[in-house]
Amino acid sequence: MEKNRNRLIIAYIIVGIVLVINILPFLWLVLTSLKTRLDIFAIPPKFIFSPTLKNYVSAFTKRDFLPMFYNSLIISISTTLLSLVVGTLGAYSLARFKIFGDKHISFWILSTRMFPSIVLVIPFFIMATQVGLHDSRFLMVIVYTTFNLPFVVWIMRSFFEDLPFDLEKAAMVDGYSRWDAFWKVALPLSAPGLFTTAILCFIFSWNEFLFANVLTAANAKTVPVGIRGLVTSRAIEWGEIAAVGTLQVIPVLIFTFAAQKYIIRGLTFGAVKG
Amino acid sequence: MADLLIHNLWKKYGKVTALKGINLKVSDGELVAILGPSGAGKTSLLQAIAGVEKITVGDIFIGGKIVNELSPSERDVAMVFETYALYPNKTVFENMAFPLKSPFRQLRKEEIEKRVKETAQMLQIDWLLDRNVSQLSGGQRQRVALGRMLVRNPQLFLMDEPIAHLDAKLRHRLRGEIKNIQRTFKTTTLYTTHDYREALGMGDRVVVLNEGEVLQIGTPEEIYNFPRNEFVGGLVGDPPMNFFSGEIVADGGQWYLKTPIFQMVIKQEMFRVLEGKSLREVRVGLRPSDIFLERKERDGLFQAEIYVTEPLGVFQIVSLQAGKEKFQVKYSNTENFRMGEKVYFGFSPDKLHLFDYATGLNVKYL
């Protein structure tokens, strides 16, 4: 008993340390967003101060963050939907149909994620300007989808491989077409996987900076690029950075909490087989 | 309802050949049991008939109509999978209603409800209809799988080891129930199993399958009494048939069958079967239930020693040792034998099964 209690205490201490390391930056971010310029630089740091929404207001009045949030949202949601539709169909085919060289195809799909993304930025930029897609939301959706697809294919493939094929065979014997067996039986059962990949796709597109920075200018500018713009040669607007940063985190948090149950199941379910 | 005809059916998975030229005819309303060890190709055969696996070569006719190119739904067969394959996210009712809701049938809602309830009542699972299938026991799941098959009125029932994963008691009860259901519906049925009791007990006819080949097709009596080869003989019966190597030798105008545990004169009738086949070496099969034991020596009996006995209620399994050979006898439990005791065993010569040493074929079929 004594030994168990000691272990429990140690476990709590470790969890506590991890939580502090993880949550402190967020706390810092939120507190900074509510401080005046003077309070931000106060030493020692102030934890008790009179909060202000000045930073939030100026982000949307002095700066143009509303269209950027709109862009981010449109691009992220479109990317997530497109990646899921294309990726899931591809994953299902790789899991269920014997294709010549299917193992190689799977590996090749994954290998597209292996080189550093910066290598791709310049070619993407040149291609985009040549076809006249530079600084468009459409371009960003295409670019992000190419990055999300390998990921969707690999997670969903292992999901489908773990589903007994007999279920779909039973559906076909029960009078359903090949497509219905996928749509009405296999897909609903892989919902946890779909949720997990959807969230991860969304987070990737929502936070992506490098490509957005190079491939957008004004029309399709996303929030991360906008935040970078707050670092100017004259001043660094810490208050506004914190305010926009806080708003940037919120949708992801809501998304993740809402689907927490599925994510945990999804991550463990898919992780068993490679 | 329909008859089924399978002609020269081959199924290959890459380099593995699962079915090697199956020919089978099943009459309307017949229950055919397919008996074979795991890996024999039983599941491949059923799935080929259902249409969920493409066949490599051959033709399948259901009700006189060739179905090679038809999709599983168009073939109108119902199947119980070994894994049951119940939809885990659906309730019992939804599982059983699923085939009725298919675009091929499109029944009215009231009709679906009526049929599912009737079937559930027959299978005594009507009180489970609102449960999720993940909450059910193995036996209950099995009934739901049967129910999903029975709500329709298909051309064929295909049952792939439907009760293999249940405990022995339940298995025995369901064996009777399934046979009874099949007799009631009079639907042509294929039933696979690796348990010879199920196959002999349920099938009008039994097909013995091994390594993708049909070894024997016959009534349960034929399979038991006239196994076509050594494999069939060893597959059917518990404890399994005893096998000895034997030699046929001529000595002073008489023909003898010599085995390590006994030697006997080959009688006229059997000699006629063997005559002209130039057999020298044979495998001798003798069922444990065909051997009798006596304590006193007399003519025609052979000596052996009690190795061990296993009393099993009405009868006992007696293991005997003669020389280096051990073999088993199924004997009534009225006698008590001691270990090491000398006994005398005998059998009626017509109970002997002789198999060609080279091909394993029963000499009667040579």
Q: Where are the domains positioned within chain A?
A: 1-52, 59-271
Q: CA-to-CA distance for A272 and B124, rounded, in angstroms?
A: 39
The stretch B29-54 carries a mean pLDDT of 94
User: What is residue A50's predicted lDDT score, i.e. its pLDDT?
Assistant: 82
Query: How many angstroms away from the CA of A38 is the closest CA of chain B?
Result: 58
**ipTM > 0.90 (yes/no):** no
- All residues of chain A having their beta carbon less than 8 Å from the beta carbon of residue B71 are 172, 177-178
Cα B189 to the chain's mean position, in Å? 14
Which residue of chain B is at minimal alpha-carbon distance from A188? B89
Pick from B73, B83, B105: CB nearest A177: B73
Residue A233 pLDDT: 84
Measured at the CA of A98, the angle between CA A93 and CA A103, to 5 degrees, comes to 80
Instruction: Mark yes or no for CB contact A169/B85 under 8 Å.
Output: yes
Task: Report the pLDDT value the prediction gives residue A274, as an integer from 0 to 100.
Answer: 32
Residue A98 Cα, gap to closest chain B Cα (Å): 10
CATH class of this structure's domain B242-365: mainly beta
For B305-314, what is the mean pLDDT? Answer: 92
pLDDT of B120 strictly over 90? yes
- Helix (H) or strand (E) holding A260, with range, is helix A260-271
Out of A98, A167, A176, the one facing B85 most closely (by C-beta) is A167
What does the DSSP 8-state code read for residue B187? -
| CB spacing of A169 vs B52 below 8 angstroms | yes
pLDDT value of residue B267: 78
A interface test, pick of B71, B73, B141, B150 with most A CB neighbours within 10 Å:
B73
Interface list for A 182-201 with B (CB within 8 A):
185, 188-189
Is B104 in CB contact (< 8 Å) with chain A? Answer: yes
pLDDT digits (tens, 9 = 90+) for B82-118: 999 999 889 999 999 999 999 888 889 999 999 999 9
**Planar angle of CA A160, A161, A162, nearest 5 degrees:** 90
Q: Does the beta-carbon distance from B51 to A172 stay under 8 Å?
A: yes
Question: What pLDDT tens digit does each residue of chain A (274 aa) get?
Answer: 677 888 999 999 999 999 999 999 988 899 999 988 878 887 887 778 888 888 899 888 888 899 999 999 999 999 999 999 999 999 999 999 888 888 888 888 888 888 888 888 899 999 999 999 989 999 999 999 999 999 999 989 988 998 999 999 999 999 999 999 999 999 998 888 898 899 889 999 999 999 999 999 888 899 999 999 888 888 888 889 999 999 999 888 888 888 777 766 665 554 433 3
Render A191-254 in DSSP notation, one character per residue.
HHHHHHHHHHHHHHHHH--HHHHHH-SSTT--HHHHHHTTB-SS-B-HHHHHHHHHHHHHHHHH
User: Are B3 and B27 a contacting pair, CB within 8 Å?
Assistant: yes
Q: Quick check: bond before A116 cis, omega within 30?
A: no
> Between A99 and B20, where is the model more confident?
B20
Q: Say if residues A69 and A247 touch (Cβ distance below 8 Å).
A: yes
The torsion of the CA quartet A152, A157, A159, A165, rounded to 10 degrees, works out to: 150
For chain B, what percent of residues have pLDDT higher than 70?
Answer: 99
Instruction: Give the pTM.
Output: 0.82
Per-residue pLDDT, B157: 95
A176 closest CB neighbour out of B51, B73, B77: B73
User: CATH assignment of B4-235?
Assistant: 3.40.50.300
pLDDT digits (tens, 9 = 90+) for A132-187: 998 999 999 999 999 999 999 998 998 899 899 999 999 999 999 999 999 999 99
Contact between B96 and B146 (Cβ < 8 Å): no
Domain boundaries, chain B: 4-235, 242-365
Q: Is B88 on the interface with A (CB under 8 A)?
A: yes
Please give, rounded to a whole number of angstroms, the shortest distance from the CA of A180 to a CA of chain B: 9
Q: Tell me whether residues A173 and B79 touch, CB distance under 8 A.
A: yes
Nearest to A172 among B52, B89, B103 (CB): B52
- Residue A170 has its nearest CB partner, among B51, B81, B105, at B81
Chain A residues whose CB is inside 8 A of the B85 CB are 164, 166-167, 169-170
Q: How far, in Å, CA of B98 to CA of B116, rounded? A: 10
Q: Which helix (H) or strand (E) holds B180?
A: helix B168-185
Mean pLDDT of chain B: 91
Residues of B in contact with A170 (CB under 8 A): 79, 81, 85, 87, 148
Does residue B67 carry a pLDDT above 70? yes
A179 touches chain B (CB under 8 A): no
Nearest residue of A to residue B79 by CA position?
A173
The answer to whether the CB atoms of B73 and A172 lie below 8 A apart is yes
Q: Which residue of B has its CA nearest to A166?
A: B85
Identify the pLDDT of residue A267.
59
**Which A residues, 84 through 103, put their C-beta within 8 Å of a C-beta on chain B?**
98
- The residue-averaged pLDDT of B64-80 equals 93
B353/A4 Cα distance (integer angstroms): 68
Smallest CA–CA distance, residue B210 to chain A, in Å, is 23
Superfamily of domain A59-271: MetI-like (1.10.3720.10)
- CB nearest to B99's CB, from A174, A178, A188: A174
Place of tokens 């897609």: A133
Cα Dmax for chain A: 73
User: Is B81 an interface residue toward A (CB < 8 Å)?
Assistant: yes
pLDDT at B252 over 80: no
> How does residue B280 score in pLDDT terms, banded at 50, 70 and 90?
confident
Distance from CA of A170 to the nearest CA of B (A): 6
Q: Are B302 and B344 in contact (CB under 8 A)?
A: yes
Q: How far is B114 from chain A (nearest CA, A)?
A: 18
Provide the shortest C-alpha distance from residue A174 to chain B (in Å).
Answer: 4
pLDDT at A265: 66
Q: Which residues of A touch B97 (CB under 8 A)?
A: none
Q: Is any Cβ of chain B less than 8 angstroms from the Cβ of A180?
A: yes
pLDDT of residue B170 exceeding 60, the answer is: yes
